[in-house]
Amino acid sequence: MFKKLFYLKLFFLLLCEVSLAQQTILTDSNLPIMVILTDIDPDTNMPYDIPDEPKVLATMQLIYRPDGTRNYLTDITNDAFLNYDGRIGIELRGSSSQVLEKKPYGFTTLLEDDDSNNNVSLLGMPSENDWILNSLAYDPSMVRDYLSYTLSSNMGNYAPRVRYIEVIVNDDYKGVYILTEKIKRDSDRVNLKKIADFDNTSPQVTGGYIVKADKINGEDEVAWTMPNYGGWETNFLHHYPKTEDITDQQADYIENMFYDLAAQTNPVNISLTDGYPSIIDIPSFLDFMIMAEFASNPDAYQFSTYFHKDRAGKLRAGPIWDYNLSFGNDLFVFGFDRSFYDVWQFEFENTGAKFWKDLFQEESFNCYITKRWLELTAINQPLNYFTISNQIDEYFDLLAESQVRELQRWPSEDGWPTVADQEENIIAMKVWIENRINWMNNNIGSSDNCEDVSVPSLVISKIHYHPQDDGDYLSEELEFIEITNNSNQNISLTGYYIRELGVSYQFPANTSILSNQKIYLSSDASVFENYYGFTPFDVFTRNLSNSSYKIILSDAFGNTIDEVSYADSDPWPEAADGSGSYLKLVDLNLDNSLATNWIASAETLSIENILNELQQLFVYPNPIKDIITIQLNSLKNESLKFRIYNLLGQSVGDFELTSNNLQLDLSHLSNGIYYYNIKNKGEVIARNKIIKK
């Protein structure tokens, strides 16, 4: 208690000093204000300096008025305007950026015990505990990282979320920073399955992983190297699991995947079974290369280049990171000038592993990257010049007043980049972007051979994303996705996969779906068979989100075959959210991207079109007292079997359905819950619950 009171008094003392010392630079702002006070060093009676590592403890307040009005330093005593008020551990981060007087930081939000992580939402970003304070190093425009991450996100990829803020550390106004999500495995960041140290055999060993091509800092260790066309090596490092946590089997698995990629791109192998399309998620590689090349990032491919892979999923490129040297900007103070608008970075500067250039030059990949580039630069699209120009103007206006304070704190020095040149730099940046778009348009390639790709009539027709627990069966075990072949043609499924992170599934090679057939992908094959009465087609990895998820069924090159983005709220049927029903598409010929074309259904599942052949089957009443009626509108001269069983799975009655209207006396059964199934030629065609009262 004494310690807590001591720090509280110290905090208010320092607060007064901060307010007095900083009022000439920062008293209020249109941006959120972050105030950090490190703990007192007992040897000096002064706040701890913030080292490169390890983290030092501190208290942090984040001032933000949620209605969007101005933020005042005096709001630090008003809980209503504190987006965060608590403990953190903080350290310096970065490499070349640490050379500058204005330092970048990394911090972890902590609970009051100063040890446990505290997952919190900062400025509306999803809850987490690891954060970055990007110091805008070497970027006079103040917008390059912010713009790049936003563009990548607008393209449909995960990129670190960002917010501009102003920062005070230990009574020292530090200027404008970008509060940034740290790249890590998290359902709201890089959404991967957690891998444990005992996950050393397939399929567990297949993910999730985050690795990066990068330089080494501090205690980093190189995991493996790969040659590049520049004549040197590219270092690959483990990011998740960390070097000290990854097992030998896991390290071998992910390393071999990269060597396999290199082997299938030179000489090129485009087989859907064992070529590079079977290894990588092509859309993520397309978008990563487009962003790297569009920004002409001279460090792309060699440094700060991330990859990730989910369990049972494909290798993916991204998220993007470190784009302060881009759009014509470089480390000019050190004599570097490499971000030109008329070069391909994969063959000009830090070229990275050879597979980047090999992919770009492969005919099919080049066709798709050209197609994607033309889509993204079309009118109103993320990489259209006018779209980007307007975004930059918005950032410039947002930073107008804080840029003055930034310059006051960090005045111009000969040869060093400062925000004194912001307006001039942004004007030059816009000219550069226009030139870059024109150059890429003239040099990227042709999309003629992949513009009108025919995709089959496969329809996502049922989704059970949040089943109800039922006896010994758990909700997550009962999930399924139904896919229907809405055509009269058999369709090969080789190379097809579910593309969006969250659920992983790749159809096995040489499998197919028959005309008008429906197949089920389940979360647990044995539970599915026991509960629903027939064997699913296959099992997906991980689980469907109970709130919202985008199911994208794609071919091997990423062409979308079908796509459904469901949600657990209106206008989607809310009865499918944990109440026992599943989502059912009303008609296979309707647009299944529209919530209005889905209903919540508790109908019995069936395979093929057996129930259609029977036309209609009715089992009633339910609940029952003594007599149950089974009515069939058409029997087609087939003998059907009806079995009723208790919650233990024990049969309590077997009957042969020899007429179209059969009444069964179940008065001998005790009141309770029972299940029945109906078999046709040994195949379960219907299953449901009966309640006897």
Q: Which helix (H) or strand (E) holds 405?
A: helix 400-409
Q: How many CA atoms lie within 13 A of 636 on its CB side?
A: 11
The pLDDT of residue 603: 86
The 10s digit of each residue's pLDDT in 329-382 is 999 989 999 999 999 999 998 899 999 999 999 999 999 999 999 999 999 999
Over 70: is that where the pLDDT of 684 sits?
no
CA gap 476, 578 in Å, rounded: 11
CA gap 217, 627 in Å, rounded: 76
pLDDT band at 218 (very low <50, low <70, confident <90, very high): confident
598 touches 630 (CB < 8 A): no
Residue type, 324: N
| pTM of the predicted structure, to 2 decimals | 0.86
pLDDT band at 685 (very low <50, low <70, confident <90, very high): low
CA gap 659, 637 in Å, rounded: 9
291 touches 299 (CB < 8 A): no
Instruction: Tell me which residue of 253, 257, 125, 138 sits closest to 179, measured CA to CA.
Output: 125
Identify the residue with better confidence: 468 or 94.
Answer: 468
Q: For residue 472, list its beta bridge partners.
A: none
Mean pLDDT of 397-426: 89
Instruction: Tell me which residue of 210, 220, 295, 213 sits closest to 254, measured CA to CA.
Output: 210
Residue 85's Cβ-count burial label (10 Å; 0-12, 13-18, 19+) is: middle
Q: For residue 316, list its beta bridge partners.
A: 308
Q: Is 642 helix (H, G, I), strand (E, B) or coil?
A: strand
Helices (H), ranges, 320-362: 354-361
Structure tokens at 121: 């939402």
The pLDDT of residue 93: 93
Percent of the residues in the chain that have a pLDDT greater than 90, as a whole number: 77
CA gap 684, 433 in Å, rounded: 62
The pLDDT of residue 620: 79
The pLDDT of residue 124: 97
Q: For residue 164, list its beta bridge partners.
A: 178
Over 80: is that where the pLDDT of 191 sits?
yes
The pLDDT of residue 681: 61
CA gap 304, 93 in Å, rounded: 14
Structure tokens at 294: 């569009």
Which of the residue ranges 328-342, 471-485, 620-634 would you say has the lowest mean pLDDT?
620-634
The pLDDT of residue 4: 44
Mean pLDDT of the chain: 91
The 10s digit of each residue's pLDDT in 591-623 is 999 999 999 998 888 654 434 433 456 777 888
The pLDDT of residue 381: 98
The pLDDT of residue 583: 97
- What are the backbone angles phi and psi of residue 657, rounded to the nearest 5°? -90, 100
CA gap 156, 564 in Å, rounded: 15
CA gap 51, 103 in Å, rounded: 10
Sheet containing 683-692: give its strands across.
651-657, 640-645, 672-680, 683-692
The pLDDT of residue 614: 39
DSSP for 130-189 reads: EEEEE--TT-TTS-HHHHHHHHHHHTTS----EEEEEEEETTEEEEEEEEEEPP-B-TTS
Q: For residue 599, list its beta bridge partners.
A: 584
Which of the residue ranges 308-312, 324-328, 429-433, 641-645 would you say has the lowest mean pLDDT?
641-645
- Report DSSP state, residue 5: H
The pLDDT of residue 401: 96
CA gap 656, 643 in Å, rounded: 9
Task: Give the total residue count for the chain.
Answer: 693
The pLDDT of residue 607: 57
Q: Is 275 helix (H, G, I), strand (E, B) or coil?
A: coil
The 10s digit of each residue's pLDDT in 570-598 is 999 999 999 999 999 999 989 999 999 99
The 10s digit of each residue's pLDDT in 165-186 is 999 999 999 999 999 999 999 9
- What are the backbone angles phi and psi of residue 12, rounded to the nearest 5°? -70, -35
Structure tokens at 682: 């040994």
Instruction: Tell me which residue of 383, 402, 341 sits closest to 165, measured CA to CA.
Output: 402
Please report the domains of the chain, with CATH numbers, ordered by start residue: 2-181 (no CATH), 204-450 (no CATH), 458-601 (2.60.40.1260), 610-692 (2.60.40.1930)
Mean pLDDT of 384-395: 98
CA gap 249, 281 in Å, rounded: 23
pLDDT band at 650 (very low <50, low <70, confident <90, very high): confident
